[in-house]
Amino acid sequence: MNFTIHILGTASALPTTSRYPSAHIVDVRGRLFMIDCGEGAQIQIRKAGISFLRIEHICLSHIHGDHIFGIFGLLSTMGLLGRKSPLNIFAPPEFGPILKFFKTQFGEGLLFDINFTSLEMTEPELVYENRRTELLAFPLNHRVNTFGFLIREKVPQRNVKKDAIEKYDLSLSEIGTLKRGEDVVRENDDHGSLVIKNEDVTYYRYLPRSYAYCSDTAPLNELKDWVKGVDLLYHEATFPAEMQEMAEKTFHSTTLQAAQVAKDAAVKKLIVGHYSSRFPSVDFFLDEIQTIFPDVTLAHDGDVIEL
Model pLDDT for residues 121-167, shown as the tens digit of each residue: 999 999 999 999 999 999 999 999 999 999 999 987 787 778 877 77
For residue 8, CA distances in Å to 167, 229, 238 come to 52, 25, 17
Paired residues of 150 in beta bridges: 136, 212
For 270, the enclosing helix (H) or strand (E) is strand 270-273
Give CA–CA dist 141/305, Å, rounded: 27
Task: Determine whether 216 is an active site residue.
Answer: no
pLDDT computed for residue 199 by the predictor:
79
Residue spans per domain, the chain? 3-156+205-306, 159-203
Q: Helices (DSSP H) in the chain: which residue ranges?
A: 41-48, 65-68, 71-80, 95-106, 162-168, 172-179, 198-201, 223-226, 244-250, 255-264, 283-290
> Residues 234, 121, 96, CA angle at the centre, nearest 5°?
90
pLDDT for res 189:
57
For residue 208, what pLDDT is reported? 93
Please tell me the predicted confidence (pLDDT) of residue 2.
Answer: 93
Closest by CA to 224, choosing from 175, 265, 260, is: 265
Cα(264)–Cα(269) distance, integer angstroms? 12
Please write the tens of the pLDDT for every residue from 236-250.
999 999 999 999 999
Q: What span, in angstroms and rounded, lies between the C-alpha atoms of 240 and 284?
A: 8
Pairing state between β 184-188 and 125-129: unpaired
Q: Which member of 27, 36, 66, 301 is catalytic? A: 66
Task: Write down the pLDDT at residue 190.
Answer: 63
Per-residue confidence (pLDDT) for residue 53, from 0 to 100: 96
Q: pLDDT below 50 — which residues of the chain? A: none
Q: Using alpha carbons, list the distances in angstroms from residue 281 to 39, 272, 305.
A: 21, 14, 21
Beta bridge partner(s), residue 138: 148
Quick check: 2 and 30 in contact, CB under 8 A?
Answer: yes
pLDDT for res 201: 76
Say which amino acid occupies 159: N
Q: How far apart are CA 292 and CA 266, in angstroms?
A: 12
300: closest CA among 285, 289, 278? 285
Distance, in Å, from the CA atom of 163 to the CA atom of 283, rounded to the nearest integer, reads 53
| Residue 134, φ and ψ in degrees, nearest 5 | -125, 145
Residues listed for the chain: 307
Four-CA torsion 98, 249, 267, 228, nearest 10 degrees: -70
CATH T-level assignment (fold) for domain 3-156+205-306:
Metallo-beta-lactamase; Chain A (3.60.15)
From the list 6, 9, 62, the residue with the least C-alpha distance to 275 is 9
Q: Which residues contact 197 (CB under 8 A, 6 or more apart)?
A: 183
* CA–CA distance, 27 with 306 (Å, rounded to integer): 10
